[in-house]
Chains A and B, each alone.
Chain A
Amino acid sequence: MPECTNPLWPCAMTGAAACLAGFEGMTVVIHGSSGCYYYPTTLLHAPLHGTFILEHEIIFGSEDRLNEVIGGLSGRGGRIAVITTCVPAILGEDIQSMLEKHDVILVDSPGFSGDVEAGYKNALSILAPKVDPEVRGVNIDGVCLFDPFYAGNVQEILRLLRIAGIPAGTIFSHDRLEKVQHAAPYTIGTNEDFGSGIGEYCGGTLGFPAIKSTFERLSEVFAEGDVDRVFLELERQEERLVKACDKYLLRFDPPSVAIFAGFSYARHAATTLERYLDADIRCIGSRNTPGESKYPVELVTGLDGVRNLIGRYNPDLVLGSSFERSVCKTGAFTGITPPLRGSVRLAPAPFAGINGTLILVEQVLNTCMDKKSCL
Chain B
Amino acid sequence: MILNPLPIHTSRFGGCTITGALSVTTHVRNTASIVHGPKGCTHHNFSLLHATGLDNETVTLPALVSTALCECDIVFGGEGALLRTLETVAGSDVDAIFVLSTCIVDTIGDDVAAVCSRDFDVPVIVVPTAGFLGGTFQNGVVNALSAIAGSAGAVPVHDCVNIIGEKNLEYEVEENYAEVVRLLESLGIPVNLRFVHEIAFDEIGTLGAARLNILREPALTPVGDFLKLRFGTPYIPVFPLGLSGTLLFLESVAKLFDRDCGRVLEKERQLQDDTLARFSDLHGMAASFDPAMNDPDSVNSSAEVAKVLRIRMGQPNPGCVCLGPGSPVGTSGVRRMLHRWRRQIHA
Where the two chains meet, the residues of A that have a C-beta atom closer than 8 Å to any C-beta of B are: 1-14, 29, 32-39, 41-43, 47-50, 52-55, 58, 68-69, 72-73, 86-87, 90-91, 110-113, 115, 301, 303, 322-323, 326-327, 329, 339, 341-342
Contact = CB atoms under 8 A, between A and B. Distances in A.
B66 A4 contact: yes
Contact of B40 (A12, A87, A323): A12
Contacts of A5: 63-66
6 contacts: A5-B66, A54-B132, A86-B37, A112-B74, A341-B47, A342-B55
Interface stretch (B13-21, B147-155, B232-240, B323-331): B13-21
B254 interface: no
B12 interface: yes
Contact of A87 (B13, B104, B137): B104
Given A14-B40, A86-B104, A303 B69 contact: no
B317 interface: no
Nearest to B58: A326
B1 interface: yes
A49 B40 contact: no
A1 B65 CA distance: 13
Given A87-B107, A112-B104, 6 more contacts: A7-B40, A32-B132, A39-B44, A54-B9, A55-B132, A86-B103
B84 interface: yes
B18 A9 contact: no
A7 B2 contact: no
Which applies to chain B's interface (DSSP): helix, strand, loop or mixed?
helix
Interface centre among B65, B73, B88 (most CB of A within 10 A): B65
A78 B61 CA distance: 41
Contact of A2 (B9, B13, B64, B68): B68
A56 to B, nearest CB: 8
Interface of B: 1-2, 4-5, 9, 11-19, 34, 37-44, 46-48, 50-51, 54-55, 59-71, 73-74, 81, 84-85, 88-89, 102-104, 107-108, 131-133, 136-137
B70 A326 contact: no
B50 A341 contact: yes
B43 A9 contact: yes
Nearest to B54: A342
B135 to A, nearest CB: 8
Contacts of B65: 3-6
Contact of B1 (A32, A36, A41, A303): A41
B190 to A, nearest CB: 33
Contacts of A111: 38-41, 104
Contacts of B67: 3
A43 B47 CA distance: 10
A115 B42 CA distance: 13
Given A1-B70, A90-B74, A39 B48 contact: yes
A1 B68 CA distance: 6
Contacts of A86: 37-38, 74, 102-104, 107
Contact of B47 (A53, A90, A113, A339): A339
Q: Interface centre among A13, A52, A58, by most B CB within 10 Å?
A: A52
Contacts of B84: 2-3
Contacts of A339: 47, 50-51
A5 B62 CA distance: 10
Contacts of A73: 2
B107 A90 contact: yes
A72 B6 CA distance: 13
A243 B155 CA distance: 70
A113 to B, nearest CB: 6
Could you say which of B42, B55, B85 has the most chain A C-beta atoms within 10 Å of its C-beta? B42
B68 A3 contact: yes
B63 A6 contact: yes
A3 B85 contact: yes
B43 A35 contact: no
Contacts of B132: 32-36, 53-55, 87
A37 B14 CA distance: 11
A306 B47 CA distance: 15
Nearest to A72: B4
B59 A7 contact: no
Q: Which of A39, A68, A112, A323 has the most CB of B within 10 A?
A: A112
Given A34-B13, A39-B47, A55-B132, A48 B68 contact: no
Contacts of B12: 34, 52-54
Given A4-B65, A4-B66, A39-B48, A54 B40 contact: no
A27 to B, nearest CB: 9
A161 to B, nearest CB: 34
Nearest to A341: B51
A72 B2 contact: yes
Contact of A69 (B4, B54, B136): B4
A342 B16 contact: no
A69 B136 CA distance: 20
A52 B13 contact: yes
Contacts of B15: 34-35, 38
B4 A58 contact: no
A113 B73 CA distance: 11
A33 B1 contact: no
A2 B309 CA distance: 60
Per CB-CB distance, the 8 closest pairs between chain A and chain B, nearest first, are: A11-B40, A35-B16, A33-B132, A342-B54, A111-B40, A52-B12, A3-B85, A112-B38
Nearest to A33: B132
Nearest to B6: A68
A6 B64 contact: yes
B57 to A, nearest CB: 9
A90 B108 contact: yes
A54 to B, nearest CB: 6
Contact of B69 (A68, A112, A326, A342): A112
A68 B4 contact: yes
A327 B73 CA distance: 31
